[in-house]
Each structure stands twice: as C-alpha cells, then as structure tokens.
C-alpha cells in the first residue's frame, strides 16, 4: 500500500504483524504502519536544507567577537508556572541593545543554563539568534563537564545561529591536563569559542599553558578570566584576548591590565553605565557602581540579580529552585543603593522592596 503526499514523495505502508502477546489496551485504529519515505534527491534537498554554513563565517565571527567591550550574561525570566517568559526576556535583550551592549551570553550561570533542559537551552539560543543576531553577538553557553554533551550542544548552538560558544572546563568529574586539552580541542573544532576559567565554581584552575595551547587554534576567541587581573595582564601581554569575569575588578582590568572588556552580571541592571566604564577611565563613575556590585554578590550569583530584577519589575518574582530571594533587610538595602545611584542609570522606572509572600519558588515546571 502506498500513499502519495507530494508529487515527489511516496510513503509506503505494510500491514503490521501480530505481536504474539495479548494486551488489554485498545487496538490501534489502523493495522498499517509506516516503514519508509521515498523521495527523489531534489525533493530531499528542498525538505532538508543543509545546515547553515557557519564555517564560512568562522574567521569573521572570531574577529568580531574579539572586539566586544561589553558582553552581558543575560538573565532568563520565568512565567508563573516556571517556563521561560520570552516576552520579558525580549524586553531585557532590547534594553541591552539600546544601552550599547554588544553581545550576550545565553544560558550562562547568570541565565541559569544549569537549571534548563538542553532542549530549553538550545531553544533560547535559537530565539535570541533569530530575533537579535543582527544587533549583537550571540554567545551560547554550551559547555559541559561531559565532552560528548559539550560537543552535541555546541553543534546544535551553531546550527541554530549562535556566533560563538562559551566553554567551561569539566567540573566535579575533573580531568588531567591532557584530558583538559583534548576536551577544549574537541569543542574548538566546532567553531569560535571563549574559554571560561572560574575555579571558584569548577574546583579546577585552567593553567596558563592550556590557554596558550588553545590560543593556537583558529577558532579560539579568547578567555573569560575570573582569577584576577594579574592573570589577565599575563595573557594580554601575549596578545590573548581576555575579558574580566569579575564585575568588581572589571574597570581596572580594562584600563590597567589590558582586558578587552567584561562579561558582566551587573550590566543587566546598569548597562549604559557599564558601557561608559569600558569606554572611559572615569574613576568617579566606577566608584558609583561599587556598592551595587557588592550587594549583587552577597550570595552566589544569580540570586542577587534575580532579586533586584524582580524588585524593579523587569522579571516576575518566580525562582527556579534551589535559588530563592534575598531576605527583606537585604532587599531594603538594595533599594537604597539604587536610589543613591539614580534610577536614570538603571533599567528600572521604580523599585519595590516587596514582601516575602510575593515570591514564588518552583521545584518543577
């Protein structure tokens, strides 16, 4: 039996054989099953276009990404049921673009990629690339402690349009230096990548010699470095592009240690001010940010950022556990800090302290 579904595609069915066992389940409506779809080559080409030839853009993407001064690790807001709130997400990204941000990290620690399924993760990268890829560089956090997972996610990320990936070193199940180099080589082969060194989270520092070896790869973009400005200075003296991963050190990293810029959490709140700090050595403006940065990191990121975005009405007060809001006294302190900075420097029109009962914790979604 055959069914024609288009002039060039033929679907063939055969009668299903008896399974050999009895069941109380209702029999299927049809006793035929689909076994194959045949098509001429032209039809296959139309139905299944080849992946976007991102490898043709690799050199351009490496060079473009290396020029970025301000990259925001963008927050992922949620609906009341715990799913992504894409409407609020889009507003956040659009505000970043308006304020001079040149790139976003999608699904990073700040964006809670570790609390997402890979399907959610890749969907958010695709959504961002499709809607905003012409306005900023989309960098997908597709790293993993499993090389196989990192490869698969990175391949998917490039297929849906990201410009570069962010690659962490394997954590918890730490590996040897030889294994670490092999892991990075594998993901670098897939396309432009920023190596992310944050031993406070991974429990393992990425040594200089590993980064120097990675820098020989044509797809190496640079390093997001969280161990301090001495390491950043060491790399930049060798011509290795480096972004500070610490907001409290980013100003000096940029103007004293030679960093290209910062991959920032705080720029979710004050993007235009952080852009100014990356462009100009304005010490007074830098001091203006210090208390806010300290407040945001009183608990592990992204707890402080989530709380403040909710206080400012830019995200619904919904947490995916295990994250929960700051206590009320800390929220009062945060509101005071923003008032002193001046709301005109922030993405908020107003800030509320809120009650504890206003916040919702989601353990499943």
Cα Rg, the chain, nearest whole Å: 24
Clarify whether 196 is annotated catalytic.
Answer: yes
Q: How many CA atoms lie within 13 A of 335 on its CB side?
A: 17
Contact 121, 166 (CB under 8 A): no
Neighbouring residues of 23: CB distance < 8 A, sequence distance ≥ 6: none
Contact 365, 83 (CB under 8 A): yes
Rounded CA-CA distance 196/233 in Å is: 16
Bridge-based pairing of strands 9-15 and 242-244 is unpaired
Q: How many CB atoms lie within 10 A of CB 236?
A: 20
Q: Which of 196, 235, 326, 345 is catalytic?
A: 196
Q: Which of 89, 224, 235, 326 is catalytic?
A: 224
Strand partners, 78: 84
Element (H, E) at 276: helix 271-279
What is the residue whose two structure tokens read 């809001």? 325
C-alpha pair distances (Å), 198 with each of 112, 331, 335: 16, 27, 29
CB burial class (10 A; 0-12, 13-18, 19+) of residue 307?
buried
Clarify whether 234 is annotated catalytic.
Answer: no
Catalytic residues: 196, 224
């Amino acid at each position: 039996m055959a069914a024609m579904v288009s002039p060039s595609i033929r679907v063939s069915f055969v009668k299903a054989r008896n399974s050999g066992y009895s069941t109380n389940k209702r029999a299927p409506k049809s006793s035929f099953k689909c076994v194959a779809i045949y098509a001429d080559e032209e039809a296959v080409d139309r139905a299944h276009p080849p992946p976007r030839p991102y490898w043709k853009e690799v050199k351009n993407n490496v060079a473009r990404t290396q020029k970025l001064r301000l990259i925001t690790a963008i927050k992922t807001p949620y609906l009341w049921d715990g799913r992504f709130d894409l409407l609020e997400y889009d507003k956040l990204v659009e505000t970043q673009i308006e304020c001079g941000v040149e790139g976003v990290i999608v699904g990073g620690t700040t964006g809670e990629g570790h609390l997402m399924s890979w399907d959610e993760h890749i969907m958010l990268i695709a959504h961002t690339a499709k809607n905003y890829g012409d306005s900023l560089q989309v960098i997908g956090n597709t790293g993993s402690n499993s090389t196989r997972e990192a490869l698969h996610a990175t391949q998917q990320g490039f297929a849906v349009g990201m410009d570069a990936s962010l690659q962490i070193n394997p954590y918890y199940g730490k590996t040897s230096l030889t294994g670490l180099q092999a892991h990075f080589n594998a993901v670098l082969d897939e396309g432009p990548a920023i190596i992310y060194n944050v031993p406070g989270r991974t429990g393992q520092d990425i040594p200089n010699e590993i980064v120097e070896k990675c820098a020989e790869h044509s797809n190496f973009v640079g390093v997001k470095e969280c161990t301090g400005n001495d390491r950043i200075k060491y790399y930049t003296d060798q011509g290795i592009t480096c972004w500070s991963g610490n907001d409290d050190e980013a100003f000096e990293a940029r103007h004293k240690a030679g960093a290209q810029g910062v991959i920032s959490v705080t720029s979710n709140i004050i993007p235009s001010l952080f852009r100014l700090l990356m462009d100009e050595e304005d010490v007074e403006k830098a001091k203006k940010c210090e208390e806010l940065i300290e407040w945001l990191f009183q608990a592990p990121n992204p707890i402080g950022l989530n709380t403040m975005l909710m206080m400012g009405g830019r995200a619904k007060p919904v947490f995916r556990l295990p994250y929960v809001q700051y206590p009320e006294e800390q929220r009062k302190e945060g509101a005071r800090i923003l008032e002193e900075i001046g709301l005109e420097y922030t993405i908020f029109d107003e800030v509320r302290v809120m009650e504890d009962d206003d916040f919702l914790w989601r353990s499943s979604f």
